[in-house]
Every structure is written in C-alpha cells, then in structure tokens.
Amino acid sequence: MTRFRLLIEYDGRPFVGWQRQANGPTVQAALERAAAALEGRPVTVQGAGRTDAGVHAMGQAAHLDLEKPLSAGKVADALNAHLRPDPVAVIAAEAMPDTFHARFSATSRHYRYLIANRRAPLTFERGLAWRVAPTLDAEAMNAGAHHLLGRHDFSTFRDAQCQAESPIRTLDEIGVCRRDDRVEITCSARAFLHRQVRSMVGSLVEVGRGRQPPGWIGEILAAADRTRCGPVAPPDGLYLTGVDYPS
C-alpha cells in the first residue's frame, strides 16, 4: 500500500462542494469514483480542507492509499482518465510516508478572491468572479484588511453552521490589490473558519464602496458578533490556491 499526495484543481460550479454528500455531485466523490475505477475497490480520498458549493481550487491537496504498484506519474494520468468529463484535474501526485495526512499535516492554506469591478455583465468569467459594478477603493479595502491580521476571535466572520471547536484563528497574511478592472484579495492562515474568507471579503467590499471606513473592519472584528458582519460574498470568486506542508 502506498500513500500518494495529490495536487488538484477544479471548477466548483457543477459541485455542491468538496465533501461527499447525498444532495448532489461533489469533488471528493468524483475523485473517489476515479480511484475506485483505478484500484477495483473503494478508495477514500482525504482533502486538505472543504470548499463550499461553487468555490474553485487551483491548489487543493488530498491523499489516498493505493495497492497497485504505480509510479506517481501514472497515478495522476490514470485518475485524470477516469475523472473525465468532470472539471477536476490531478496536476501532480507524489508518494508520501504513511504518516502524511492532507488535512492534519498542513501548515498553511492560501486563498484568492477575484472581483470583476466593472459595469458590464460577465461572459467568460461568469461563475468564476464576483462582478461588483460600483468602483471600489482597493486602497481603503487594503487598509481595512490590515485590522484582520494576527490572532483574533473571528466570530463575526464565522458562519452559523461552522463546526469548529473555537472561533480563534491566526490570519498570517491578507492583502487587497487592483489590476485594471480586477480587485484581488489574497489571504493565508493555518486554518480558516467556515465561510470566513467570503465573510471578510463581503465586509471589505462595504469599505471599498465607501459605505464604511477602513476602521469599521476592526470594530466589527472586536465585537465578535456574527450580526455585525457585512453581506457574505458569493462563492464565484473564491479559489483555494495552495496548501503548504513541512519540507
């Protein structure tokens, strides 16, 4: 039996999320069907983290255990062959020791949120970005985002259905920048609460629209009160871009 770490990308639009469930197609289920076709037996695929319905990934990580004596390259190719036509791709596979765990061995997770800041409707990026028509002040958003850095009680940005034992999290990095008519928000932490990123983005957009000053982000964070959160951003623009592990 060999454990393989997988680097995965997917378009989240057809899925009800990462985690296997009965109410619709999921990324985990698609990968497990592909692995079962490869192995000839049921195979469990463990992801580094769960993404919600409509959320995308460019750098999701997962692991699975295979009995067949295959090279890492052949594992990736075989899984991709069985994944068709699902919009999921195994970019790379790597043999790992049995002690490796995609979720519990991770040291950091990285997300990017893409906002199309334009009046015209989206065509090619429909479902792949959040269109916000009013011009956003990215500098004010970036100033507001800095209030979120560090270790805090993130209850304000925690979904009511979040199952985490504690709302305390440490946000290691967050930044907002503009590239033409695109506003990108990037953030990194060892772990995030359920819908934390989308909740933070939605509040930062309130600042960008001029409805709130940058300091308001610090105020609602300190309140540790979910009712103080701004509107939650849609899943369309959210991407899991990478997961870090010890070298």
User: Which residues are designated catalytic?
Assistant: 52
214 SS3 class: coil
The answer to whether residues 100 and 18 touch, using CB atoms and an 8 Å cutoff, is: no
| Pick from 192, 187, 201: nearest CA to 166 | 192
- Cβ contacts of 212 within 8 Å, gap of 6 or more: 144, 203, 206, 230
CA distances from 131 to 20, 96, 241 (A): 29, 41, 20
Dist CA 127 CA 70 (whole Å): 37
